[in-house]
A and B are shown apart, each in its own frame.
Chain A
Amino acid sequence: MTLQAEVLLPGSAVAATALALTAPISFWGGVNPRTAEIADVRHPEYGQRITGRVLLIPATIGSSSAAAILLELVHAGIAPAAVVLHEPDAILLLGLIVAREMGYPAPIALRLDAREFAALHGRRLTISGAGALATETG
Chain B
Amino acid sequence: MATRRKPKLAVWKFASCDGCQLSLLDCEDELLAVTDQVEIANFAEASRAVVKGPYDLSLVEGSITTPHDAERIHQIRRTSKFLVTIGACATAGGIQALRNFKDVQDFTSLVYATPQYIQTLNKSTPIVDHVRVDFELHGCPVNKNQLIEVLSAFLNGRKPNTPAYTVCVECKRRGTVCVMVARGTPCLGPVTHAGCGAICPSYNRGCYGCYGPMETPNTGSLAAGWVRLGASESDLVRAFRGFNAYAEAFRRESEAHEDQNPQG
Tell whether A pairs with B.
no
- Residues of chain B at the chain A interface (Cβ within 8 Å): none
- Residues of chain A at the chain B interface (Cβ within 8 Å): none
